[in-house]
Structure 1
Amino acid sequence: MKETAVEPTLPCWHCAANVTVRALFCHECGTIQPPGEVDPFTRLGLTAQFELDISAIDRQLAGFARILAPARFLDKGDKAVTLAAAHRVVREQAAATLRDPACRARALLTLANAAPVQPVNGGTWELDIIAAPDQTARARATTQVKDAMAAELRLLLDAFRLGNLTLAATRLSRVEAMALAVAAARRLG
């Protein structure tokens, strides 16, 4: 017999009934709830997978925007207005996370308890950019890092398709380090 996971609940701030952490509204009194601690996929009602259609993210976000429109809460009191605004913010953040392939990969690996430590710098890619003797050489090195990052993102997709989370974590670390190197190049000008 397969066990089903019990979804965590919190008490409704208004009536104290148990409400699942992903619920927008209390199941008993219908009052809007504070945003719960959930992953970005759950937040937008999407399947947790690396390959996502960006238009699906946008559709989900638009649907929640209609449900959480400020005008719908004006007669519900200040707390309801504030909570609806908080929901809009966390959903925008979730959408931003899922639109970015590296952030989406980190979210997936975090769900699987397989996320690597985030790099603190751009490693050898950053050193190559910084060591470039002039602006032209720096621009060329930055372009090479961007090209390598695009290739690494394709390999990251392959790792997820294979279900190899260890490889995906390695690829993600490389992508994140390359992104830090590109950011360092921008700061150098």
Structure 2
Amino acid sequence: MATAICNPTVPLRFSSPPAATTALAMNLRAPSRNLVFRQQTRRKTRFRLSPETGCGFPVRKLAVSCQVVVITENEFSEQVLKSESPVLVEFIANWCGPCRLIAPIVDWASQEYKDRLKVVKIDHDSNPKLIEEYKVYGLPALILFKNGKEVPESRREGAMTKVKLKEYLDALLESVAAA
């Protein structure tokens, strides 16, 4: 039988082989972890109980910022495919951490390149047809459209820094202008 060695400042350790450890860890609620949890709630963050699991989680609502226009499937044709200028489409979701991370950078890009580029966002959960049509597998996803078509090799997935986004957009806009 595996025994747990608990200390409030040290993660749980087990004195058994790994196979038994995972089974035990799933069913174990260490009193020391609860003590640390209560201490953290007093000092740092307010917690509430989840109705589904009964576990505490931080009460913080982080949403994707919306300085860039968020469009739907109905507006996609008009806003993106029929646009005169190149359009950078960012596929996002409110539950996506990297989407929240890159949101200010994309907002900056929309202001920086506003005379050469149009930037729009599409919510992943609300627009399943577009997600399926353009095969968006990772979030956030950036795709550049020009003359109603996806620019070849313009697709990027995941968060990136401001410098990388600038390099990416400069290279794309240069290649689109040359074509």
* TM-score over 0.5 for the pair: no
Name the one with the larger helix percent: 1
TM-score bin, normalised by smaller chain: under 0.3
In our comparison, the structure showing a higher alpha carbon Rg is 2
Query: What TM-score results when the alignment is normalised by the length of structure 2?
Result: 0.24
Query: What TM-score results when the alignment is normalised by the length of structure 1?
Result: 0.23
Name the one with the larger strand percent: 2
